[in-house]
Amino acid sequence: MPIATVNPANGETLKTYEAMGEEELERRLQLAQATFRTYRTSALAERARLMERAAGLLDEDAPEIARVMTTEMGKPVKQARAEAAKCARAMRWYAGHAEALLADEEPAEADVKDSGASRALVRYRPLGPVLAVMPWNFPLWQVVRFAAPALMAGNVGLLKHASNVPQTALYLEDLFHRAGFTEGCFQTLLIGSGAVDEILRDERVKAATLTGSEPAGRAVASTAGEMVKKTVLELGGSDPFVVMPSADVDRAAEVAVTARVQNNGQSCIAAKRFVVHTDVYDRFTERFTEGMKALKVGDPLEEDTEVGPLASERGRADLEELVDDARRGGAGVLCGGERPEGPGWYYPPTVLAGVTREMRIHREEAFGPVATVYRAADLDEAVLIANDSPFGLSSNVWTRDEAEVDRFVRDLEAGGVYVNGMTASHPALPFGGVKRSGYGRELSGHGIREFCNITTVWHGA
């Protein structure tokens, strides 16, 4: 895949870039290693100052970088500006909380004595250069939620971004440099996916994080396992959105529309499978379908656009194949389901009903504005349908019954359970999944410690 900006609204190639050669890659790896030797000992207060500066610059740059993101991958420009603002908030959150999150921990005095020590503690130390393999769908946020905690912990970052968002990738390197971070603290590697394996095998790279497809995750995990290197993987999701009779059905249907089509439906944590109790199925499905039909699809640079184009022609073709397979299997198309005429990689908001386990869309992630609606006879069946997926990233539950909430929290196979609201990531809350959605956690204290050497320090009596 070429490293290029191709506008998904019209298919026009705007900029192309040459992949970095071996000599430049070697220079950057040497720089990362050398920078880490000194940056790892820098004061947390100084790291926080630089991170605050980066956040301020991002706020200033938001209108411009939002248009770049929209032009590169098609998200509505209002959502792109919101993404930039979210990144700045996360930077500030880690700048303000890293010292407490990384503070030394001391076991209970009785346990210290029992270990034969006069004193014992746990210290969090950085690992070194961390390779981040990142996707295009949230081209700023996916990177910042790795970079902010990693840099605050004293690590340095090497970014291999998706090949269709090179301008955003280069902007991120420039942002941290302008903020005052030493040149080697955060570097963008303009390389194809084929070069990832060799870089991950390099002894100077100490760990890796990847957000992307399951095949990409398997490849990185395999190499990292062979090299015995730490990884954090977030590999997508097909999140359930469960609606029970006690819920505010109208509100649930309204939120469901946003939960499905955020980022043009190209979000790992977007709700994709809507599991509705039979008592409220007809009412919810009618209102949800009406909401999906009413969305404005169009030029993502226009302020009132709600759904823009998919990021790539291949992505649209993959989505069409899932819908066509379901239609051939007998699923009903309540709205959408047909490619519009004209330029750009647009696909309409689509609702499918009557989906069965034999259909591909039941077990594969639909990465675009396509929803599947399931009817559940009771709570037990709702849980069974929700868990009948190879993925387990997050989940949404709508009910006013606290006993039902407890049951869903206990039994749903997911990294998050959001009650009477839609899944959203926040720097204070851990983010990640189970099953084929990956392992490890980003964000919160859990995320900043993922790439730390958790060190036991023991003093003899």
For residue 319, the number of C-alpha atoms closer than 13 Å in the C-beta half-sphere is 31
Using alpha carbons, list the distances in angstroms from residue 292 to 52, 110, 253, 254, 315: 39, 60, 10, 9, 20
**Cβ atoms of residues 338 and 348 within 8 Å:** yes
Phi first, then psi: give them for residue 339, nearest 5 degrees: -65, 130
Pick from 129, 139, 134: nearest CA to 161 = 134
Is-contact 386 412, C-beta < 8 A?
yes
Torsion of CA 308, 272, 215, 151, to 10 degrees: 70
313 noted as active-site residue: no
Rounded Cα distance between 424 and 339, Å, is 29
48: part of which helix (H) or strand (E)? Answer: helix 44-73
383/379 Cα distance (integer angstroms): 6
User: Which residues, including other chains, have CB under 8 Å from residue 146's CB and lie 6 or more apart?
Assistant: 130, 132, 134, 157, 209, 442
3-state class percentages of the chain: helix first, strand second, coil last, to nearest 5: 45, 20, 35
**Beta-ladder partners of 399:** none
Is 234 a residue of the active site?
Answer: yes
| Active-site pick, 72, 83, 173, 234 | 234
Which 3 state secondary structure label does DSSP give 421?
A: coil
Helix, strand or coil for residue 156? strand
Print burial letters for 152-166: b (CB count within 10 Å at least 16), e (below 16): bbbbbbbbbbbbbbb
Q: Of 87, 185, 268, 452, which one is the catalytic site residue?
A: 268
Tokens describing residue 108:
């209970």
Give me the active site residues, please.
234, 268
